[in-house]
């Protein structure tokens, strides 16, 4: 930090890598401290509506998720999604991946209706931008089926899982990579 300074881009990148490592090691306190420090510097330097700042929130969100602090993770992710929509648009991968994460947070909070609305939108965007058979699109279909199962929409969940199984078969075949998703699909349809 002495060579570049506390707010230099290279310093912040190094701190982000360290915070990410702390998250993987489940060293939540250290990860949170660094995440808050990085976010504070980024808010001042490039500003709150900067893509770099919004991206840096991901470290802190991962920390909150690891700590099961769903409200803090939700609030930070909602701000990130709104900022990314303004800066990059809804069809940018950074935006729809953040939206997907937010739907997962809603799911963990048992906010099924909010999760449903968001994952439906994410799936529509992913199908258009990435294609119907892209692995991320397939995963969003799986998430939608999980939400519908929670909302007691069993028939809709089975229908989407049938589509998922067909797309998965075309793209992944019947090998090992497809097996885990297939097993999850069976559980939903039961």
Classify residue 76: in a domain, yes or no: no
Classify residue 80: in a domain, yes or no: no
Predicted local confidence at residue 1, as pLDDT: 46
User: Which range of residues forms the domain containing residue 163?
Assistant: 104-190
Classify residue 125: in a domain, yes or no: yes
Classify residue 156: in a domain, yes or no: yes
Are the beta carbons of 151 and 116 closer than 8 angstroms?
yes
Q: From CA 55, how far away is CA 131, in angstroms rounded?
A: 24
Predicted local confidence at residue 21, as pLDDT: 95
SS3 of the chain: the string is: CCCCCCCCHHHHHHHHHHHHHHHHCCCHHHHHHHHHHHHHHHHHCCCCCCHHHHHHHHHHHHHHHHCCCHHHHHHHHHHHHHHHHHHHCCCCHHHHHHHHHHHHHHHHCCCHHHHHHHHHHHHHHHHHHCCCCCHHHHHHHHHHHHHHHHCCCHHHHHHHHHHHHHHHHHHHCCCHHHHHHHHHHHHHHC
Q: From CA 16, how far away is CA 36, in angstroms rounded?
A: 11
**Residue 173 scores a pLDDT above 80:** no
Classify residue 172: in a domain, yes or no: yes
Are the beta carbons of 93 and 129 closer than 8 angstroms?
yes
Predicted local confidence at residue 49, as pLDDT: 76
pLDDT digits (tens, 9 = 90+) for 47-99: 777 777 888 899 999 999 999 999 999 999 999 999 999 999 999 999 999 99
Q: What's the number of domains the chain is made of? A: 1
How is residue 7 written in tokens?
């707010």
Confidence of residue 9 (pLDDT cuts 50, 70, 90): confident
Classify residue 81: in a domain, yes or no: no
Classify residue 130: in a domain, yes or no: yes
Predicted local confidence at residue 10, as pLDDT: 78
Classify residue 135: in a domain, yes or no: yes
Whole-number Cα distances in Å, 79 to 13, 49, 72, 115: 22, 10, 11, 16
CATH number at residue 120: 1.25.40.10
Q: From CA 11, how far away is CA 169, in angstroms rounded?
A: 45
pLDDT digits (tens, 9 = 90+) for 111-135: 999 999 999 999 999 999 999 999 9
pLDDT digits (tens, 9 = 90+) for 29-61: 999 999 999 888 888 877 777 777 888 899 999
């Amino acid at each position: 930090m002495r060579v570049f300074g506390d707010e230099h881009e290279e310093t912040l990148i190094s701190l982000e890598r360290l915070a990410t490592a702390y998250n993987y090691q489940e060293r939540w306190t250290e990860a949170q401290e660094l995440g808050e420090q990085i976010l504070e510097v980024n808010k001042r330097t490039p500003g709150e509506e900067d893509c770099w700042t919004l991206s840096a929130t991901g470290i802190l969100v991962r920390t909150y998720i690891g700590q099961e602090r769903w409200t803090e993770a939700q609030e930070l992710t909602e701000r990130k999604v709104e900022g990314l929509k303004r800066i990059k648009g809804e069809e940018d991968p950074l935006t729809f991946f953040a939206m997907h994460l937010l739907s997962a947070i809603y799911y963990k909070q048992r906010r099924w209706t909010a999760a449903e609305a968001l994952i439906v939108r994410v799936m529509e965007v992913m199908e258009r931008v990435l294609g119907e058979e892209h692995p991320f699109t397939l995963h969003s279909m799986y998430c939608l089926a999980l939400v519908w199962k929670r909302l007691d929409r069993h028939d809709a969940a089975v229908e989407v899982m049938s589509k998922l199984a067909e797309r998965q078969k075309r793209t992944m075949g019947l090998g090992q990579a497809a097996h885990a998703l297939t097993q999850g699909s069976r559980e939903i349809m039961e």
